[in-house]
Amino acid sequence: MRAQARIDLGAIERNAARLAEVAGPAALCAVVKGDGYGHGMVPAARAARAGGATWLAVATAGEARGLREAGIEGPVLVMGALAPAELEVALAARADVVAWREAFVAGLPPGTRVHVKLDTGMGRLGTRDPDEANRVAARVADGHRLVGAMTHFATADDDPAFLAEQLARFTPWAEALKAAHPDLLVHAANSAATLREPAACFDLVRCGIAVYGMDPFHEDPAAHGLEPALSLVSYVAEAKTAAPGQSAGYGRRFIAAEPTCVGTLPIGYADGVRRGLTNNADVLVGGRRVPLIGTVSMDNVTVDLGAAGGAAVGEEAVLIGRQGDERILAEEVARRLDTINYEVTCGISARVPRVYER
């Protein structure tokens, strides 16, 4: 097969168990939006639940519907904004929704399960006004089911001082609301906050990136007891000698300075290998790192196998993952692209089959 994303469901299960242990006694909500961060929403959700996640969270109503159509039960929270047609889909999927305006609550059918959101510093969804949040909560409690009080941290991965500021804004409001509604679930922590700040865990944590074994701090997941679940692989489809002056790829952005062997892998930017990796990545072939050379094209990339060659046509090539004693993390790819690991795995296109294993 020209390209595969291999997903270790056992790793997702173990990561969920690890996060549940760290967060305890808070419950674990596994965030499976964005097709499970590129890993496959439904298989990832099942694996996370097997590891101890009691809640699932998504961004859209369609994602909630997809979980229910796959037969997945248990609480599902739609965290994103919902237009009227999307709200109908979310409610038909028996999902919880998020509110921060009274007008939104007024349009909900009786008994809707609602979480009220206070914006403590993310600056996106939610009200910045605790009094307005209280009015929304009161309206929800009158005819609906007030399930949760929530916020979202903007800098838990890189600015603990602002995380502390957000906690200081959220905690008094949430505690007062919980005093009035003892069954309320208070939740705020993402993966980074779960691993960094126990005070942020409250009753429930919403972990996304760490469930998939990637580091929310963008370094090394092993430092937090996490196992990367995804490997992106292709194979050497062609290997040919290149004499000095001969080139590889569009624009001749690689020109051999000395005799070498150029390998072609049938994977490219239509598969999610970003063009920014042109002359800017390593690939594992035969258990060793070889440089990606030349322009990343839609369907192919080229690598420098060296003067001795050292790879046979048909040999596996690893763009993300482990081979022998070497490994390439999504975090490494992200650094080369000046982005984050989230974007690396979410960007693997649907053209790449997901193969599930344990």
CA distance 66 to 48: 16
**Six token digits for residue 277:** 């990796």
pLDDT at 203 over 90: yes
* Secondary structure class of 129 (helix, strand, coil): coil
In eight-state DSSP terms, residue 93 is: T
> Is the predicted pLDDT of residue 356 greater than 80, yes or no?
yes
Backbone φ, ψ for residue 284 (5° rounding):
-95, 125
- Kind and range of the H or E element at 88? helix 84-92
- The secondary structure of the chain in percent helix, strand, coil, rounded to multiples of 5, reads 35, 25, 40
pLDDT at 140: 98
- What confidence score (pLDDT) does residue 311 get? 76
Q: How confident is the model at residue 149 (pLDDT cuts 50, 70, 90)?
A: very high
**Cβ count within 10 A of residue 180:** 12
Could you tell me if 296 and 269 are in contact, meaning their C-beta atoms sit under 8 angstroms apart?
A: yes
Looking at residue 272, its amino acid is G
Burial, 173: exposed, middle or buried (Cβ in 10 Å; 0-12, 13-18, 19+)? Answer: buried
Q: What is the CA radius of gyration of the chain?
A: 23
**How far is residue 127's CA from residue 156's CA, in Å, rounded to a whole number?**
20
Confidence at residue 104, expressed as pLDDT on a 0 to 100 scale? 98
Beta carbons within 8 Å of 71's beta carbon, 6+ residues apart: none
Residue 80 pLDDT > 80, yes or no?
A: yes
End-to-end CA distance of the chain: 20
CA atoms within 13 A on the CB side of 291: 14
d(CA 158, CA 173): 25
Ranges of H-type helices in 110-233: 130-141, 160-180, 191-196
Please say if the pLDDT value at position 255 is more than 80: yes
Q: How many CB atoms lie within 10 A of CB 181?
A: 17
76-78 and 55-58 strand pairing: parallel
Q: Which of 42-56, 69-83, 145-159, 304-318 has the lowest mean pLDDT?
A: 304-318
Q: How far apart (Å, rounded) are the C-alpha atoms in residues 276 and 137?
A: 46
Under the banding of pLDDT at 50, 70 and 90, the label for residue 83 is very high
Please give the model's pTM, rounded to 2 decimal places: 0.96
User: What are the contacts of 84-88 at 24+ separation with CB within 8 A?
Assistant: 86/60, 86/61, 86/62, 87/61, 88/61
pLDDT of residue 338: 98
Task: Please identify every residue annotated as catalytic.
Answer: 33, 250
Cβ contact 114:98 at 8 Å: yes
Name all contacts of 249-252 with Cβ < 8 Å and 24+ positions apart: 249/278, 249/293, 249/294, 249/295, 249/297, 249/302, 250/294, 250/295, 250/297, 251/295
pLDDT bucket at 353, cuts 50 / 70 / 90 = very high
Domains, the chain, ranges and CATH? Answer: 9-224 (3.20.20.10), 230-328 (2.40.37.10)
Q: What is the residue-averaged pLDDT of the chain?
A: 97
For residues 255-266, give the mean pLDDT: 97
What pLDDT score does 132 carry? 98
Measure the CA–CA gap between 113 and 67, rounded to whole angstroms.
Answer: 17
- pLDDT for residue 179: 98
Q: Max CA-CA distance within the chain?
A: 78
165 torsion bin: left (phi>0), alpha (psi -120 to 50), beta (else)? alpha
| DSSP at 109 | P
3-state SS class at 207: strand
Mean pLDDT of 63-69: 98
